[in-house]
Structure 1
Amino acid sequence: MDASSQRRPVDLATRSQRALALFSGTDLNPVPTWKSQHPTDSHRLNPDFRLIRDGYEIRIANGADALKRNTARLIERMYSSRGLFPYGQGESLDERDITVAACKGDHAVATLTLCLDVGKGLLADTLYRAEIDAARKNGGKVCEITRLAMDPEHSSYEALAGMMQLLYLVARLTYRVTDTFIEVHPRHAGFYRRMLGYQMVGPEKICPRVGAPAVLMHLCQRRLDHLVDLHAGRSDGESRTIYRMFQKRAELEELQRSLVASGPIQNQRRTSI
């Protein structure tokens, strides 16, 4: 726990921030080249696309060099503050990876990266190739979430939900992935299970990229579709998942059409959790 967390009451948003430590960085054990069974279709994502969530601007950082540098500094700071292995942004990025950022003004306060199964495969193949190959062999189109970090001064469900909603527009509705994987610290697995619907599918191992324990978690995108349809837009107190802060399916599909269009769009959404 950092000093600032010790001075503040611990709320749900603060607890969620502690779980935002995925395993990424310089790959000490390069993944063997994997030729995807499902080559990624070429999509030009709208660089002007924005989601506005409670004052946070959620956007895609690809093509915005200053924002990409900003997210790299954020990741370096958040990972090093937890004693994780130095990040090494440049060496492990693929130009087809898609970085999502939540910004306050000109500063990125949260970020994540979607890695598609193209070219070199996934970072998680290093430890969990067998588990991910099982999805591939069943015809799955796989991806992973990595480089997820959030500034504790902006530990916000609104920012996290906005990033996850944009990720859904990109991964599920645009690239039609079927299986999403994520490596997390074992202590954080409960958060991803309760709030995001992930299930643990890989045993605890030491991640060589950060020198810390990891487990592999998986979310079938058909299950994700069900969770979105079940919880999106609910205002009652019974649903505590991130997906209650999503928009309804018809609105998401409209946003996705704007995401791959050439014109600018801004979408504002405010939902309490």
Structure 2
Amino acid sequence: MFDYQESKTYLEPELNGQDAKPEVTIRQVRVEQPDETDAHELDVDERTFQIRLANTEMVRSHASSLIHRMYASRGYTVNNPLQENPHRVTMTISEEDKVIGTITLGIDSPSGLLADEIFKDEVDAYRARGRRVCELTKLAFDPTTRSKTALASLFHIIFIYLRRVQKCTDIFIEVNPRHRRFYERMLGFKKHGPKKMNPRVNAPAYLLCVETDYVEEQIQKMGGTSGHDNAEKSLYPYFFCPISEKQNKAAIDRQLAVLHTDQGNANAVNALAAIYQASRGATSVESLTLSH
């Protein structure tokens, strides 16, 4: 179930310090202090943050706590903590050793997706066409953080994993009706089927879907353009710049090669995320020179 709003996000304690660190140096940037009148809403767009795989019980516990806090604050029922599962991948994003967000990717398998519980007919229609489906669930973000950059970065890294490693063609999400427009407008999701009651959170939900081909097209068109005056009203300008991706192609391909043989390799996932994050803000569409 997705319940993200533009105006609110959600916070959690520090990540497990024993996670393997990627061999990539993250760019350090100057921290802008917020105005006193807005000090409770920290803007992390120009700060350093890290995206990492939640591959230990401790990190999954932190992410579960964050999810529970977010959902409980909205009156939703949350019963099951995150558990190790070969068909689910959870990623976290942290700022100054504090977890500020988490998201879980579910890959289709013989046991199906969580969305099958109430939207099986809709999902089966895609399977019947030979599509490789997946779902994004359990999005939680820091309530004191307003950062489209952080949110887009988390979406972008998990998108790279689901498209390039898992070869998924379609992404499903279940969202509360009041947040449906956000995902349609900001990410291009489309509604599939009627509104139904989601028993996992005891709240109504719509099933939304977007093709990974469409997401890739938007990234190629708008990624890295958020600082432009003509940037579109979308989350895609806050995704990583496709030109910097080309510049770092050799390093990216090395990590993807590892993941193609070992899909749960935390070092490769973390290094891949760090490569992208290191390029954030260091390059721009205008100034980049493609390497040959």
Please tell me the TM-score bracket, short chain as reference.
Answer: 0.7 to 0.9
Superposed CA RMSD in Å reads 2.8
The 3-state SS of whatever aligns with 1:153 is coil
Corresponding residue number in structure 2 for 1:168: 159
C-alpha distance in 1, partners of 2:21/2:125? 35
Number of aligned residue pairs: 233
Corresponding residue number in structure 2 for 1:29: none
1:55 aligns with one of 47, 57, 82:
47
Corresponding residue number in structure 1 for 2:60: 68
**Structure 1 residue 16 and structure 2 residue 6: aligned?**
yes
**Structure 1 residue 257 and structure 2 residue 253: aligned?**
yes
Q: Which moved further from structure 2: 129-138 or 52-61? A: 52-61
Shift in CA distance, 88/139, structure 1 to aligned 2, threshold 3 Å = same
**Percent identical residues:** 29
TM-score of the aligned structures, taking structure 2 as reference length: 0.71
5+ long unaligned stretches in structure 2: 11-19, 28-44, 259-266, 283-292
Corresponding residue number in structure 1 for 2:233: 240
Shift in CA distance, 18/87, structure 1 to aligned 2, threshold 3 Å = farther
1:89 aligns with one of 77, 81, 87:
81
Q: Which amino acid aligns with 1:48?
A: P
Give yes or no for contact 2:104–2:137 (8 Å, CA) kept in 1.
Answer: yes
Give yes or no for contact 2:60–2:82 (8 Å, CA) kept in 1.
Answer: no
Corresponding residue number in structure 1 for 2:185: 194
Give the deviation of 1:222 after TM superposition. 1.5
Alignment of 1:69-218 (within 5 A): 69-90=61-82, 94-218=85-209
Give yes or no for contact 2:54–2:92 (8 Å, CA) kept in 1.
Answer: no
TM-score of the aligned structures, taking structure 1 as reference length: 0.76
Shift in CA distance, 231/238, structure 1 to aligned 2, threshold 3 Å = same
C-alpha distance in 1, partners of 2:142/2:128? 38
C-alpha distance in 1, partners of 2:200/2:21? 31
5+ long unaligned stretches in structure 1: 1-13, 21-45
Q: Which aligned runs of 4 or more in structure 1 are off by greater than 6 angstroms?
A: 49-53
Q: Which amino acid aligns with 1:106?
A: D
Corresponding residue number in structure 2 for 1:27: none
Give the deviation of 1:79 after TM superposition. 0.8
C-alpha distance in 2, partners of 1:247/1:56? 14
Q: Which structure's residues are more often strand, by fraction? A: 1
The superposition leaves residues 213-258 of structure 1 with CA deviations (integer Å, 9 ceiling, x where unpaired) of 1000000111112211221122233412111122343544636425
